[in-house]
Amino acid sequence: MKMTKEQKYRLLEQAEPGELERLAAQAESCGWRQRYHIQPHMGLLNDPNGFAFYDGKYHLFYQWFPLGTDHGMKYWYHVTSSDLAHWTDLGIGLTPGGPYDSHGAYSGSGIVKDGKLHLMYTGNVRDENWVRHPYQCLAITDGHAIATKLEQPVIGSVPPGYTDHFRDPKVWQDSDSYRCVIGAQRDDLTGTAVLYRSKDLLDWTFEGELQTSLSSFGYMWECPDYFELGDQGVLLFCPQGIEPQGERFRNIYQSGYMLGKPLESDRQTFEHGEFAELDRGFDFYAPQTTQGPDGERVLVGWMGLPDLDYPTDDKGWAHCLTLPRELSLRNGKLIQRPAAGLIGLRGEQITFSAELNGESRSFAGVEGAAYELQVSVSPAASDCKQGMFGIEFRTGENERTVLSYDASSGKVTLDRSQSGASLSPGYGTTRSCTLSSESGDRPIEFRLFVDTSSAEIFVNGGEETFTARLFPDSASTGISFFANGGSAAFEGSFWSLRENAIPRGLPTGILE
């Protein structure tokens, strides 16, 4: 049941007696709660926000509407980790409801200055005619307490030429000043991003539009992020309104990147290559990155999409974040690998191997609902251009999720048509991508992280990733490996993963 405007734009203190407890109990009893992903105690989680390494730890926040699974009054919820695998729950990080964020503390980023974590975000205000007014706001925290907001926004208006779809500031340090990129919509209703500069994070000067070659690429760009990796400048953004093209752009909204020459300090021109999707799966949006203590670039995404219904909606909660991924470059592509610290979740290792020819096989102990699975598949020399090889997982009575590699086309496909409760079937039940041609002569490497209601798949050391929510029966825990129309050697390792992040009940201090 959809909520009314009045129900959606309520602060926590406006909850009905017992409402939060009811939502928490509903969420807690849901069979699709994740075991090792960041998920909300109750209500709706969306974008990762304020991701920063500060005071010896990663601080990560997410967009959170506590009182239902609609997109309503957004808070920031705060968690920390030193290894990107085990998370500590710190409760609310930023509270909306002020004059400049009366209808939500929308997405933004974090940066450390003068020993404090500074959060720059979009305050969402709706006036009596429900017209949107975005303000770019600043809040400061010591990393423990709820952030203290400045009384006035740091960017109080939208520059001429852009509509009120103007949000999601991402800040970085650029020599002796700061720069930020903000997602925007031009007056002609095309999406873009703009740049601002500041010496102190307080006074911001509009530099102009980020000059790319994309004059008409969707109607809005959400959640832009800019950073440098090796000798490349990388721009991430989420364009809305892109039509599907073959295997690409199959989801309701897209999330991708462009590589180019690093932005020069005094210029707004970004000379870049083609827009490429970050993830080839179903449920991935609004990623944000930060730099770790050793210079590593870490990305976290929202494992969900706006404007779609999910099967947990009527269980009082929706969505989770992806696992953190470390970024690197290889052959002009962004490579994503699961954060190294995730091996800290592993239980005992089970190894297996088999030569399969026109058959399917399972291995003792290789099954479950929360695990990591690494498999390398080497088609026989005679079959490296034919045959279909792969893995069926979360299998049970009438249920299976299928990951396959078609040797004749070099295509990897994830099929969730029989994965359990269906979601957004209007956007199709399979996703595919064709591996780069150099992949042809090597074994195909799959690394899967499966949780109660999701799978994240890293192909060939992170050359491609597929992220998907799956809603199978709890009894569907089988895994099998198959080789159809050819033979291949399978070799792999399996680890059950330890539970680490199930929030239960009400967050502490929620109404303090």
Residue 275 in the binding site for ligand FRU (CB under 6 A): no
Whichever of 191 and 492 has its CB closer to ligand FRU, that residue is 191
Count CB neighbours of 182 within 10 A.
Answer: 29
The least CB distance from residue 46 to ligand FRU, in Å, is 5
The least CB distance from residue 45 to ligand FRU, in Å, is 10
The least CB distance from residue 418 to ligand FRU, in Å, is 29
Whichever of 107 and 476 has its CB closer to ligand FRU, that residue is 107
- Kindly determine how many residues on this chain lie close enough to bind ligand FRU according to the rule CB under 6 A: 14
Whichever of 50 and 472 has its CB closer to ligand FRU, that residue is 50
Task: Pick one of 46, 185, 413, 454: the residue that binds ligand FRU (CB under 6 A).
Answer: 46
Q: What is the DSSP string of 106-137?
A: EEEEEEEETTEEEEEEEEEEE-TT--EEEEEE
Residue 74 in the binding site for ligand FRU (CB under 6 A): yes
Q: Looking at residue 147, what DSSP letter applies?
A: P
Residue 63 in the binding site for ligand FRU (CB under 6 A): yes
Cβ within 8 Å of residue 460, ≥6 positions away = 435, 439, 442, 444, 445
Whichever of 168 and 464 has its CB closer to ligand FRU, that residue is 168
CA distance 240 to 305: 11
The least CB distance from residue 236 to ligand FRU, in Å, is 13
Whichever of 90 and 220 has its CB closer to ligand FRU, that residue is 220
Structure tokens at 84: 């990107």
Residue 106 in the binding site for ligand FRU (CB under 6 A): yes
Residue 107 in the binding site for ligand FRU (CB under 6 A): yes
Q: What is the DSSP string of 284-353?
A: -EEEEEEE-TTS-EEEEEESS-TT---TTGGGTEE--BPPPEEEEEETTEEEEEE-GGGGGGEEEEEEEE
The residue count for the chain: 512
Strand pairing report for 75-81 and 276-277: unpaired
Residue 496 in the binding site for ligand FRU (CB under 6 A): no
Q: Give me the residues paired with residue 50 across strands.
A: none
Residue 279 and residue 335 in contact, taking contact as beta carbons nearer than 8 Å? no
Residues 193-232 contacting ligand FRU, CB under 6 A: 222-223
Q: Give me the residues paired with residue 321 across strands.
A: 302
Residue 312 in the binding site for ligand FRU (CB under 6 A): no
Whichever of 106 and 257 has its CB closer to ligand FRU, that residue is 106
Count CB neighbours of 421 within 10 A.
Answer: 15
Q: Which residue has the tokens 């609609």?
A: 70
The least CB distance from residue 167 to ligand FRU, in Å, is 5
The least CB distance from residue 247 to ligand FRU, in Å, is 24
Task: Pick one of 260, 306, 443, 478: the residue that binds ligand FRU (CB under 6 A).
Answer: 306
CA distance 51 to 93: 12
Residue 170 in the binding site for ligand FRU (CB under 6 A): no
Q: Is 47 assigned a catalytic role?
A: yes
Cβ within 8 Å of residue 167, ≥6 positions away = 106, 107, 122, 124, 134, 182, 183, 222
Task: Pick one of 122, 289, 336, 454: the residue that binds ligand FRU (CB under 6 A).
Answer: 122
Residue 73 in the binding site for ligand FRU (CB under 6 A): no
Residue 69 in the binding site for ligand FRU (CB under 6 A): no
Residue 101 in the binding site for ligand FRU (CB under 6 A): no
Strand pairing report for 43-54 and 317-318: parallel
Residue 237 in the binding site for ligand FRU (CB under 6 A): no
The least CB distance from residue 7 to ligand FRU, in Å, is 17
Q: What is the DSSP string of 162-226?
A: EEEEEEEEEEEEETTEEEEEEEEEETTS-EEEEEEEESSSSS-EEEEE-B-S-SSS-SEEEEEEE
CA distance 472 to 421: 6
Residue 167 in the binding site for ligand FRU (CB under 6 A): yes
Residue 322 in the binding site for ligand FRU (CB under 6 A): no
Residue 286 in the binding site for ligand FRU (CB under 6 A): yes
Whichever of 52 and 223 has its CB closer to ligand FRU, that residue is 223
Whichever of 63 and 376 has its CB closer to ligand FRU, that residue is 63
C-alpha pair distances (Å), 219 with each of 65, 183, 186, 193, 314: 25, 11, 8, 12, 31
- The H-or-E segment that residue 24 falls in is helix 19-28
Q: Which residues are catalytic?
A: 47
Positions touching ligand FRU (CB under 6 A) are: 46-47, 63, 74, 106-107, 122, 167-168, 222-223, 285-286, 306
